[in-house]
Structure 1
Amino acid sequence: MIYCKRVYQEATPGDGYRVLVDRLWPRGVKKSDLQCDEWAKALAPSAELRKAFHSDVIDFTEFSRRYVAELTSQGDAPKGLADRAKNQTVTLLYGAKNTEQNHALVLADFLRRLNS
């Protein structure tokens, strides 16, 4: 199972393996306070893509398309996390305010497709 959760939400035992998937450390969170097993910076969208989305240069559909292209170009990098999700719960942690349109949701779908 793969879940997505804001870093500002409380950690729970059901989260399983917790992975921060932001390229930048989330604001207002001390590194010592965030319960996270891994910081997967490489799986975050590029700075250029993130900035284009947040400045409304591109919409979420275009952002998603480009982000999946970035993930695909990384070869086997995302596969390790997808493989882990076959055997245990993985929770992708993100700092974005928008819980319905963010990169963690796109990444979760991408990882699920790798496992299907």
Structure 2
Amino acid sequence: MNQARIEILRAYDALGPDGRPRFLVDRMWPRGVTKDALRLAAWLRDVAPSTELRRWFGHDPARWEKFQARYCAELDANPQAWQPLIEAAEQGPIALLFGARDREHNQAVVLRDYLMRKLAHR
């Protein structure tokens, strides 16, 4: 199982048709982006970090390590939120869409790595 199975894409990038199911993994809809532009399989708000955690993190790279640990703890406590992503990834490649500007320090990166660990143990 490799990471190509779960790709992360910024919702604001031009997204051409690629046949993969796409899942928005933000709690809030990306501003100025239409539903048609994203062509989502689903918007999974509940898999996103809690509002409290998101506000605390504030996309501050200095808080990245703690954010990852806290977000993984939230995911551990809420398996029903990420289970549809596991099931979809077992069927073929999927894409996680996020809205943050920072491509390296965002919840989609943590979620992809978390899901890859879960898939590796199946």
Asked if 1:42 is matched to 2:46, the reply is yes
Q: Which runs of 5+ in 2 are unaligned?
A: none
Q: For residues 4-23 of structure 1, what are the structure 2 equivalents within 5 Å?
A: 4-14=8-18, 16-23=20-27
Aligned match of 1:79 in 77, 80, 83? 83
Could you give the per-residue CA deviations for residues 73-107 of structure 1, whole angstroms, max 9, x where no partner exists? 01333122112112211100000000011100000
Asked if 1:103 is matched to 2:111, the reply is no
Count of paired positions: 116
**Closer, same or farther: CA 47–15 of 1 in aligned 2, 3 Å:** farther
Amino-acid identity (%): 40
Greater displacement, 60-69 / 72-81: 72-81
Q: Name the residue aligned to 2:94.
A: 90
Q: Which runs of 5+ in 1 are unaligned?
A: none
TM-score normalised according to structure 2 size: 0.86
> d(CA) in 1 for partners of 2:18 and 2:73?
31
CA RMSD of aligned residues (A): 1.8
Could you give the per-residue CA deviations for residues 23-79 of structure 1, whole angstroms, max 9, x where no partner exists? 0011111234322111000100000000001074x7011001000000000133312
Aligned match of 1:67 in 57, 68, 71? 71
Displaced runs of 4+ in structure 1, greater than 6 A? none
> d(CA) in 1 for partners of 2:59 and 2:9?
23
TM-score normalised according to structure 1 size: 0.90
**Closer, same or farther: CA 10–55 of 1 in aligned 2, 3 Å:** closer
